[in-house]
Structure 1
Amino acid sequence: MKRSLLFLLVLVAWSAMGQGTQKPPLHGKHWMAITGKPLAATAGSMIFQKGGNAVDASCAMLAATCTMWDVLSWGGETQALIYNPKTGKVIGINAMGIAPTGATPEFFKGKGMNYPPEYGPLAATTPGTPGGLCTMLAEYGTMSLKDVLAPAMQLAEGYPIEAQTANSMERGKDRIKQWPYSKAVFLPHLGQEREAPEAGEIFRQADLLETLRKMVEAEQQALKKGKSRKEAIYAAYDRFYKGDIAKEFVRGCQEQGGLITMEDLAKWKVLQEEPLKVNYKGIDVYKLSQWTQGPMMLQALNILENIDLKSMGFNSAKYIHTLYQVMNLTFADRDFYYGDPYVGPAEPMQGLLSKEYAKERLKSINWQKNDAQAGPGDPYPFEGKTNPYLDYLKQWKQASLHTPVSPLDENYLNQVWLGTTSVEAADKEGWVVSITPSGGWLPSCIAGRTGVGMSQRMQSFVTDPKLNPFNVVEPGKRPRVTLTPTLALKDGKPFVSFAVQGGDTQDQNLLQFFLNMVEFNMTVQEAVEAPNINTYQFYLSLGGEDRKPKPGNILLHESTPPYVRKELTQMGYHLSFDDRTSGPINAIFFDWKHNSFWGGSSNHGEDYGIGW
């Protein structure tokens, strides 16, 4: 009790100081733009200053981050939530690409693979981001594609590259050299000791600039023919997926060994969908559906609302143990039950998100030590059905009994934390946008002369239904991804919009960020900087052949007190430490008392925000 009180007193003192963060909070009255690169945040501000709304600005930031290879590119995928102030509704944007023709379990197993590969053309789903951007802009924006893409086109023409991206090109150059179009873009100094650009060097992408120019040209030609703003933007969409851009993309993909066809591109489309939500203590929390890992945070909140977290004390041993056990249960459900809702079998989401199922899962927690065998539950009875996969569940649990405790090597940790970026935008009219785009990260295989790096998201499929019967690779199907933007509403109005980069860590980080604000009264900047914990007791969504859970392994902040470390060790945990325990979190808090925005942007990485 004394220790819990000490944690609370420290937290209250920290909050009261108002100076406990390494970066100041952002404040704005008219708009807020936050994303993974300073220049990309500037692109958003440029659009706002021209009179655009939050959707226009978020599309400009998305385009800029893709052009700057902020751990993603134009051939990747876009996941977004949009709050429409005219309707009071939250809209989900599903711009996840699909597995191409010929992508079957038999195909990959025939190549000796238990999962689709991490890199190269065979890792590629169809591009989603160009279509996602055009759809958001056409349906909910106000400006032309020409205006919104202008900052990205200036970047493609040439911008001073930052060290982080340039060094990533240099580290990945051996793989990049396998792909001729990537080599031409990323390694301008072939034969020299450093073959990638240097920090500050003007990085030019002529092929990508031409692709963007063609999209704008299609829009402008449609406008001259009397088409509406929306119709003209969709003309650019069609040129990318059905016209000359598509032909060159497919040619370049297949030349390098990929499977994507013209039919794959033409039949794919962006889906607008109703997101999933739960209510946590009066706050409605929205996530994209089970084609992402987002619902696991909703499941965790359902369990945690039955527990008095505040009385435990922030990051006490009991609080950490509680979070760890709850996250393990929801990760296990994610790993077994989540998949593409548009391709059968149907996932049992009604049961998984029911309050009664959450209470049943709560009963399984061991409060004295870590449960290394925590596995998926059975949500089917909570929607009045019988689980058709009980045999698979038994095999899963049997396999978990033989999962050894193994160390966390550097390659494993790289896969856990593999980054993306996030985009947050809000305006005085009430539009709010949260995006977690990704795919096509360095080292990326560029498709022909398009300048477009292909996605690597195929690796998130499984080939064995015993691991997850809902996420088995199949042509036309979307993989279950880690990407997970979040919107929360309170009293029917936006409360906070937030997202983070970082693979399987995303919903771990976002869950704790949300609890930091709601349970421990942190400001948005305090919440993005506060120490997190991370579990590794799940199946990796990204990586090579070994993706098995690491039971009991936990990442703690290096400031964790000795007595907390001791208690956790006695509970069966294997501790590791770092001074950064989350990916860069970006968030916007809506201060309705003062009718203003508070922006929070991580205190590490290159994430940056601008408000006005």
Structure 2
Amino acid sequence: MYRCFLLILVLLPAFLASNAQQTQTQTQKPPLHGKHWMAVTGKPLAATAGAMIFQKGGNAVDAACAMLAATCTMWDVLSWGGETQALIYHPKTGKVIAINAMGVAPTGATVEFFKKKGYSFPPEYGPLAATTPGTPGGLCYMLAQYGTLSLKEVLAPAMELAAGYPIEAQTANSIQRERKYIQEWPYSKKVFFTHPERERLAPDAGEIFVQKDLLATLTKMVEAEQNALKQKKSRKEAIMAAYDRFYKGDIAIEFVRGSKEQGGLITMEDLAKWKPIEEEPLHVNYKGIEVYKLQEWTQGPMLLQSLNILENFDLKGMGYNSPAYIHTLYQTMNLTFADRDFYYGDPNFSLKKPPIKGLLSKAYAKERAKLIDPAKNNPDAQPGDPYPFEGKKNPVLYLLPERASFTDSTGNKKPDGFVPKHDAVAEHLHRSSANDEMAYQQQADSLYMDRLWRGTTSVEAADEEGWVVSITPSGGWMPACIAGRTGVGMSQRLQSFVLDSALSPFNVLAPGKRPRVTLTPSMALKDGKPFLSFAVQGGDTQDQNLLQFFLNMVEFGMTVQQATEAANINSNQLWLSLGGMTIKERQPKPGSILLNTNTPETTRTALQNMGYKLNFVARSSGPINAIFFDRVHGSLWGGSSNHGEDYGIGW
């Protein structure tokens, strides 16, 4: 019914932008333009799901929930058992709302448990990597509180996809690539290996991929809602009845049974006790623009801290991606990553809360800015002391000397032949020849970069009434361990905890606690009205790319599409948040910088003279999705970078 107009405003290749003030003019995709609504996400079919909901009369929250459901169903590097974090602009109150739908560490997930198994961090894959699922609860909560349609209507596109959709090469090839791990988990094998009789076990690109168990789970949730409506329950109560069936009913029973059968720790009590949290977002003012992020259980405040520091420099005068600009960005991010790695963690878990007020203080930022040497890289950027800037004494200051010389308590030595069952890097490195140091190092570097960039998806939606939604969901990526006959892949986010307080005292693993995650949706207001909604996938590079995207528009006058495609840099001078069983595999790489292959030779030479180790990639901007609000013309501009399958539709 709506097929014709959906073809009109899709993202097409090769477009010459026509904005007046530009740092770069050529873009590979055009900006989207819309008057009524905008839907942008990581898969074309998922963007179409959002458009379908808008055409039904839904608002941006309804459409965002539909896109979230679709991306989970399509395994866009996440699943239904993962986590959701969102920012929502409420046009009637003029406020930004933060949704924390991150799962928690289950019962039994303790430091002692994993150290006895020989881990320095929780594992990357499998049932022992799982936190409690957050996405189903987060979706139901957002829809009930701020949407307008029923769960049945919003899940309809995802349910149609679960009944069978033409799978993309990206996902299909990922299944085949990770077959060795999937082979270990019976329920994953049943879903993903559609051709057990042949060498390629995974589906072919374009093959109709059917997920009967997931369809049954989604059907049960809709049934719970519809039964509640028949009992004269309100719309909100009916949606939350579906929530209860997932977390307390027969879906929960099968999820827990399937998890435990495969060695997982999640209990019925863990699921029943978990709840999404609506919280106040954090924000700072950058040159008259209010920039919003989730709280310090994410890495989001790192971008806010960076903006505070960068206010002390003339970035525009330096010039886009000049040696001075790149150097200032890199040094700033190193300082804020050092704070992130040490001070960030779940503020709702204990009385000892992270010092976020001090970390976001403009005065603290000014002091940190003084540490930047304009002539060379500082390979040993350490956390600062933000406590005096909120009038307190630092209770963890004594850990900083130990952290500075932090080594694995096991000396990075593993028992002979020890390979954790679900740890990809350990597997790869164990197979490397001990005599071939170069091959070993190349493999280690490749795995390091994979973890640094490890992606998920993002969801952006806006409507003419003024609702705006930015989501960065994740969890349950390939290789995914599916929990029983639910069709739901479990999260792997437990690996973002640490097991030693000297490394990160606020992010030490404990049952019931949320890990400090990389996931970080963003929103910006100008004059009290939405200015930008933006997010990106990519592990520890997320806020690096989002920071530069924001500056590309605010400092250098790029259009939203130009800013999504513009060449960025990435710093590797940080502790990895994902992957690796040893301290050595996660340690910072001082001075290591990723540049675009088009970086001029003069810039390369200048950076090398400052002490940088240069690496190059053709596309360095990250798969950014964004919406810009054109107040002059009363229209919406959509941007989606020239990476992967991210896609948008506007009307």
TM tier relative to shorter chain: over 0.9
Equivalence for 1:7 = none
Instruction: Tell me, yes or no, if the aligned pair for 2:539 and 2:578 is still in contact at 8 Å.
Output: yes
Judged with a 3 Å threshold, the aligned counterparts in structure 2 of structure 1 residues 19 and 304 are, in CA distance, closer, same or farther, namely closer
Instruction: Tell me, yes or no, if the aligned pair for 2:406 and 2:502 is still in contact at 8 Å.
Output: no
Tell me, in whole angstroms, the C-alpha distance in 2 between the residues paired with 1:484 and 1:500.
8
Of 310, 333, 338, which aligns to 1:304?
Answer: 310
Of 47, 60, 64, which aligns to 2:53?
Answer: 47
Equivalence for 1:445 = 481
Is 1:362 aligned to 2:369, yes or no?
yes
1:303-452 alignment to 2 at 5 Å? 303-344=309-350, 345-399=352-406, 409-452=445-488
Equivalence for 2:630 = 591
Is 1:167 aligned to 2:165, yes or no?
no
Tell me, in whole angstroms, the C-alpha distance in 1 between the residues paired with 2:456 and 2:37.
24
Q: What secondary structure does 2:586 align onto?
A: coil
Equivalence for 2:164 = 158
Range that drifts further, 543-552 or 197-206? 543-552
Tell me, in whole angstroms, the C-alpha distance in 1 between the residues paired with 2:159 and 2:31.
30
Judged with a 3 Å threshold, the aligned counterparts in structure 2 of structure 1 residues 17 and 461 are, in CA distance, closer, same or farther, namely closer
Report the AA paired with residue 644 of structure 2: G
Instruction: Tell me, yes or no, if the aligned pair for 2:81 and 2:489 is still in contact at 8 Å.
Output: yes
Judged with a 3 Å threshold, the aligned counterparts in structure 2 of structure 1 residues 610 and 12 are, in CA distance, closer, same or farther, namely closer
Tell me, in whole angstroms, the C-alpha distance in 2 between the residues paired with 1:530 and 1:19.
10
Instruction: Tell me, yes or no, if the aligned pair for 1:498 and 1:587 is still in contact at 8 Å.
Output: yes
Tell me, in whole angstroms, the C-alpha distance in 2 between the residues paired with 1:13 and 1:395.
52
Equivalence for 1:223 = 229
Task: State the Cα distance separating 1:16 from its structure 2 match.
Answer: 5.1
Equivalence for 1:100 = 106
1:551-597 per-residue CA deviation (whole Å, 9 max, x = no partner) reads 00000001100000000000000001111113200000000100000
Tell me, in whole angstroms, the C-alpha distance in 2 between the residues paired with 1:455 and 1:531.
32
Q: What secondary structure does 2:348 align onto?
A: coil
Question: Which 5+ residue runs of structure 2 have no aligned equivalent?
Answer: 1-16, 413-440
What RMSD, in angstroms, separates the aligned Cα atoms of the two structures?
1.6
Equivalence for 2:525 = 489
Tell me, in whole angstroms, the C-alpha distance in 2 between the residues paired with 1:12 and 1:198.
40
Instruction: Tell me, yes or no, if the aligned pair for 1:375 and 1:396 is still in contact at 8 Å.
Output: no
Is 1:532 aligned to 2:556, yes or no?
no
1:463-542 alignment to 2 at 5 Å? 463-542=499-578
Of 56, 72, 76, which aligns to 2:78?
Answer: 72
Equivalence for 2:587 = 548
Equivalence for 1:565 = 604
Is 1:460 aligned to 2:496, yes or no?
yes
Equivalence for 1:141 = 147
Is 1:178 aligned to 2:217, yes or no?
no
1:199-278 alignment to 2 at 5 Å? 199-278=205-284
Aligned pairs, how many? Answer: 599
Equivalence for 1:576 = 615
Equivalence for 1:8 = none
Query: TM-score scaled to structure 1, two decimals?
Result: 0.96
Q: What secondary structure does 2:561 align onto?
A: helix
Tell me, in whole angstroms, the C-alpha distance in 1 between the residues paired with 2:22 and 2:289.
24
Task: State the Cα distance separating 1:281 from its structure 2 match.
Answer: 0.3
Instruction: Tell me, yes or no, if the aligned pair for 2:22 and 2:557 is still in contact at 8 Å.
Output: no
Report the AA paired with residue 360 of structure 2: L
1:205-257 per-residue CA deviation (whole Å, 9 max, x = no partner) reads 00000000000000000000000000000000000000000000000000000
Tell me, in whole angstroms, the C-alpha distance in 1 between the residues paired with 2:308 and 2:29.
32
Q: What secondary structure does 1:576 align onto?
A: strand
1:106-133 per-residue CA deviation (whole Å, 9 max, x = no partner) reads 0000100111100000000000000000
Tell me, in whole angstroms, the C-alpha distance in 2 between the residues paired with 1:33 and 1:217.
28
Report the AA paired with residue 366 of structure 1: D
Task: State the Cα distance separating 1:301 from its structure 2 match.
Answer: 0.3
1:30-78 per-residue CA deviation (whole Å, 9 max, x = no partner) reads 0000000000000000000000000000000000000000000000000
1:283-332 per-residue CA deviation (whole Å, 9 max, x = no partner) reads 00000000000000000000001111000010000000000000000000
Tell me, in whole angstroms, the C-alpha distance in 1 between the residues paired with 2:23 and 2:349.
52
Task: State the Cα distance separating 1:188 from its structure 2 match.
Answer: 1.2
Query: TM-score scaled to structure 2, two decimals?
Result: 0.91
Q: What secondary structure does 2:26 align onto?
A: coil
Judged with a 3 Å threshold, the aligned counterparts in structure 2 of structure 1 residues 14 and 86 are, in CA distance, closer, same or farther, namely closer
Task: State the Cα distance separating 1:385 from its structure 2 match.
Answer: 1.0
Tell me, in whole angstroms, the C-alpha distance in 2 between the residues paired with 1:269 and 1:413.
34
Q: What secondary structure does 2:532 align onto?
A: strand
1:82-93 alignment to 2 at 5 Å? 82-93=88-99
Q: What secondary structure does 1:409 align onto?
A: helix
Q: Any runs of at least 4 consecutive aligned residues in structure 1 with deviations exceeding 4 A, and if so which? A: 11-19
Of 10, 20, 29, which aligns to 2:26?
Answer: 20
Q: What secondary structure does 2:213 align onto?
A: helix
Instruction: Tell me, yes or no, if the aligned pair for 2:114 and 2:121 is still in contact at 8 Å.
Output: yes
Equivalence for 1:4 = none
Q: What secondary structure does 2:575 align onto?
A: coil
Task: State the Cα distance separating 1:340 from its structure 2 match.
Answer: 0.3
Question: Which 5+ residue runs of structure 1 have no aligned equivalent?
Answer: 1-10
Is 1:129 aligned to 2:135, yes or no?
yes
Equivalence for 1:58 = 64
Report the AA paired with residue 333 of structure 1: D
Instruction: Tell me, yes or no, if the aligned pair for 2:19 and 2:559 is still in contact at 8 Å.
Output: no
Is 1:601 aligned to 2:637, yes or no?
no
Tell me, in whole angstroms, the C-alpha distance in 2 between the residues paired with 1:55 and 1:76.
19
Task: State the Cα distance separating 1:409 from its structure 2 match.
Answer: 1.2
1:346-374 per-residue CA deviation (whole Å, 9 max, x = no partner) reads 10001000000000101111211110000
Tell me, in whole angstroms, the C-alpha distance in 2 between the residues paired with 1:156 and 1:364.
53
Tell me, in whole angstroms, the C-alpha distance in 2 between the residues paired with 1:228 and 1:481.
35
Instruction: Tell me, yes or no, if the aligned pair for 2:566 and 2:621 is still in contact at 8 Å.
Output: no
